[in-house]
Amino acid sequence: MSDYPNFRFDITHQDSDTRARLGVLHTPHGSLETPNFIFCATKAAIKAGGPRDLEEIQADIILSNTYHLMLQPTAEIVEKMGGLHKFIGWDKPMFTDSGGFQIFSLGHGSVAEEVKGTRNTERNKTLLKITEKGAEFRAYTNGEKHLLTPERSIDIQRRLGADLIVAFDECTPFHVDKDYTARSMHMTHRWAERSLAEFDRGNNGAQAMYGIVQGGVYEDLRREAAEYISSRPFFAHAVGGSLGADKAQMYDVVSFTMQYLSPERPVHLLGIGGVDDIWEGVSQGIDTFDCVSPTRIARHGWALVRWGKKYRLNLRNSRFRDDPEPLDPECDCSTCKTYSRAYLHHLFKAGEFQGMHLLTVHNMRFMTRLLQTIRQAIKDNRFTEARREWFSV
């Protein structure tokens, strides 16, 4: 049986009107308040940012990717260098995914594409096959053939050394039918058992594992998966897989999934981090989120702001060419306190990398401020009111 002596999740406040809750997640590298946002350092780096930027914007936790790091620089190198925390220069909690999402994205397209309704169904030939044993694929780095199994995924994550790790799964896309989704879900459950066995084999108290709830958009499958994962000795839950063709369906899938999960364990929503999605997810009891979007859009000149259309400003737009105002008067980040919109516009038009860095800092701070606002609202017993105020701007 899995044991997590150095981990604990304390629920400190429950909203009276929704499932929103305040908690504290304790790990060997410190504690973080929830709800919280996990920034993606996919290849052991925040693109256009660094550990000092994370400290400035008051980030509590970051995520790295098992699939990418097993290929470059390899888990063995990271382990030799003292693990991810030392490798990156980050002494707060870390999270690694299992590599299972890459099975999905290599074969079927991304979750983001599905939520947006594009439903990319073209199979990428780097994924060779998925069998009971695991996923066989060719590395995008050099074409070398690899087999990623539940045991290998857990072993890689053990070597990487993040505090929070994830059981291996197959992440099914939207377009497959219910029979395929059910077969995949049951295989994911068998992989979960193998992940737990491998975890127990090397458990030294330094890591805790999440079990992933699959089941696609089908309520009966989600219930079966949630009840099964809840029955197993995972420290926490993660809601994964296809969440539907649009946001409304995604919210429905998350809602009926949350009904069947153990309420005392933390719950992570994989790969979702839009402003609307976070408010809705928190209202349904989600504790943590992750998404590459805040840093990705920053590199393309988009700034997150509460009062912008879809919470964004395009700093490449010519209207900012001679705008002396700070990027966001509401924000306390170093970018907003130091630089004008005109300067940021100039950096992107001139192709200067500093623009990407400055917007990355701002967008990350936007996310930490958003989650701080949400946590304070729950603490003050005014979550619903604060949510209404946020969207009234």
pLDDT tens-place string over residues 36-77: 999 999 999 999 999 999 999 999 999 999 999 999 999 999
Report which of 287, 247, 260, 267 is spatially closest to residue 20, judged by C-alpha positions. Answer: 287
Residues 216, 81 share a domain: yes
Contact indicator for 27, 94 with CB cutoff of 8 Å? no
29/174: higher pLDDT: 29
pLDDT single digits (tens) 311-343 = 999 999 999 999 999 999 999 999 999 999 999
Q: Are residues 93 and 204 in the same domain?
A: yes
Q: Which of 291, 324, 346 is the last residue of a domain?
A: 291
53 & 133 share domain: yes
Domain count, the chain: 2
Whether 287 is covered by a domain: the verdict is: yes
Residue 393 counted as domain residue: no
pLDDT tier at 116 (50, 70, 90 boundaries)?
Answer: very low
359 shares a domain with 279 = no
Asked if 61 and 139 sit in the same domain, the reply is: yes
State whether 80 and 197 are in the same domain: yes
Q: For the residues of 266-278, what is the DSSP string, one character each? A: -EEETT---HHHH
Positions annotated as catalytic residues are 97, 290
Mean pLDDT calculated for residue range 210-236:
97
Residue 296 in domain: no
CATH number where 180 lies: 3.20.20.105
- Residues 216 and 347 grouped into a single domain: no
Residues 154 and 51 placed together within one structural domain of the fold? yes
Does the pLDDT of residue 280 top 90, yes or no?
yes
Same domain, 189 and 215: yes
* Average predicted confidence (pLDDT) for the chain: 93
Question: What is the distance between the alpha carbons of residues 372 and 59, in angstroms, rounded to a whole number?
Answer: 11
pTM of the complete model: 0.94
- Average pLDDT on 165-171 reads 94
Together in a domain, 286 and 311 = no
Say yes or no to pLDDT of 15 above 60. yes
- Cα 26 vs. chain centroid, distance in angstroms? 18
Q: Are residues 18 and 141 in the same domain?
A: yes
Q: What whole-number distance in Å separates Cα of residue 285 and Cα of residue 20?
A: 5
Q: In which domain, by residue range, is 309 found?
A: 302-384
CA distances from 247 to 219, 240, 243, 307 (A): 16, 15, 8, 21
